Structure 1
């Protein structure tokens, strides 16, 4: 028996909710958003989630039996407390337990990168290009670098709730110290701000990634060329490490840096240089769902 899928995406400024008709027919029945107002604290966020659910019930005439939620940070599987969230008031709190007690509903939680991956795997670009893919890795390359792993349509959270945290594996010491206290993380080398810092360090000028890319394409700025070459080289190395360990069927690239077309041409050539195989058989795809991936993926967390 099919059932509607309820999902909520908890962001720093807004909370968005969606009801999809079913796993097999994921058309949107209801989609609403309200402000998070995180500055008012932990209990207020829980109350806002409750308010959103009531609005969704009223608009749809439906009642949820369970709700999937995309969160900043992750739920620690052992302590059942939140960690690594930039909405800091939920860190170290029993967020899942408190939600379930307040709203009298079961919740399934996953971080935003996992929600991106599960959405693209189940109703996004993977369904168009390789619908029989069993393992899909979703990459986020933007202000930070993250990832989510989906196996047979389901998120793989891992023993510690850090499955897919590709951005904090080691890449190169030149990236310097990361906020996680390690040195040379992927995020410190190929995230947008890291590439912008590199450009500034060699040129003395502050440009954002769009400007650096425009200078590179105009072929008038040696420093922009060096920055994009750095991105391509280390993108190839980092992706090859990921492929060598997991060997996924598909990788979907999301985030602002992931929009750079060069990654799908020259970037793939760089992966081929480092991957432990005579060929690169992994399919590398652009995402389809855009900003909708988070809330759609949250809904799929409760798909049977």
Structure 2
């Protein structure tokens, strides 16, 4: 059976056809329209194009930014702001003429890595996105945990735990709170923190590269980032005690990040042992769209 996965991003929409073994047999990408109705139309055209080659009526899963309110059915908190306030689930099902399964993009990443990725066969997987923002998802036995509000795993907008003097001044987050994980652990958050101490305008990739080259200030910033990430992860593990934490997003590709976080965990985890594995993604940029395709079999188990 062919499943269609859609990754609705802010700059592009990606669609795949995935077979029963998890192999991607077709991939299409188009620029993401910056208007709500145009996004619906673009997704419809991608599904039609895939079904010309693979047959009609394929199940469709969609990963999207933000989340859908279980109370109103409206999209909320999407950085693609043209989606917010619209009944996206209802409208896309009308557009495609069939039931559609949807999940937040970080949830889709987590599902992909839990089903056949770096967290394969683990009981509890906590997936983390570290990019321009910070998000997360939780999968238990290959199924997403949604939660009463539909926000399970959204740790990016919890405050950084166990703060110390190095964590000042805290930055205001776009969500309205101060000192969220996102303001410290995202790529822009790392760049802001480095600039606050050292000046300049290095982005996260340049800071990691400078640290690898031996720059003392960059190494300090990277060490602080790893310590903060370990604190954030430990606060989640103290609640859900995941078997595996999978790191994704552009920041996750920093050399040695998983090892540095693992080394810091004993300082914060409420346990005499640390058996949770901190690992980097297996499927890279394809995890989100693959997870969208996996929404059907995973949700049907």
Query: Do both proteins adopt the same fold according to a TM-score greater than 0.5, normalized to the shorter chain?
Result: yes
Q: What residue is the counterpart of 1:208 in the other structure?
A: 203
Pair 1:218-2:213 in alignment: yes
Matches within 5 A, 1:101-140: 101-127=94-120, 131=121, 133-140=122-129
Give, in angstroms, the shift of residue 136 of structure 1.
0.7
1:191 to 186, 190, 194: 186
1:80 to 70, 73, 79: 73
**8 Å contact 1:235–1:271 — kept in the other structure?**
no
Give, in angstroms, the shift of residue 47 of structure 1.
1.2
How many residues align? The count is 292
Pair 1:272-2:266 in alignment: yes
**8 Å contact 1:114–1:147 — kept in the other structure?**
yes
**8 Å contact 2:14–2:27 — kept in the other structure?**
yes
1:189-212 C-alpha deviation (Å, 9 max, x unpaired): 121111111111111222122322
Pair 1:11-2:5 in alignment: no
Give, in angstroms, the shift of residue 29 of structure 1.
3.0
Separation in structure 1 between the aligned mates of residue 215 and residue 30 of structure 2, nearest angstrom: 45
Give, in angstroms, the shift of residue 152 of structure 1.
1.6
Q: What residue is the counterpart of 2:33 in the other structure?
A: 37
**8 Å contact 2:2–2:54 — kept in the other structure?**
no
Separation in structure 2 between the aligned mates of residue 213 and residue 45 of structure 1, nearest angstrom: 35
Unaligned runs of 5+ in 2: none
Pair 1:239-2:204 in alignment: no
Instruction: Give the TM-score normalised by structure 2.
Output: 0.92
Unaligned runs of 5+ in 1: none
- How well do the aligned residues superpose, as a CA RMSD in angstroms? 1.6
1:235-270 C-alpha deviation (Å, 9 max, x unpaired): 121111011011011110011221123322222111
1:163-208 C-alpha deviation (Å, 9 max, x unpaired): 1101111114633211111111111112111111111111122212
Instruction: Give the TM-score normalised by structure 1.
Output: 0.91
1:47-67 C-alpha deviation (Å, 9 max, x unpaired): 111111110110223422x31
Q: What is the DSSP-based 3-state SS (H/G/I as helix, E as strand, rest coil) of the residue aligned with 1:12?
A: coil
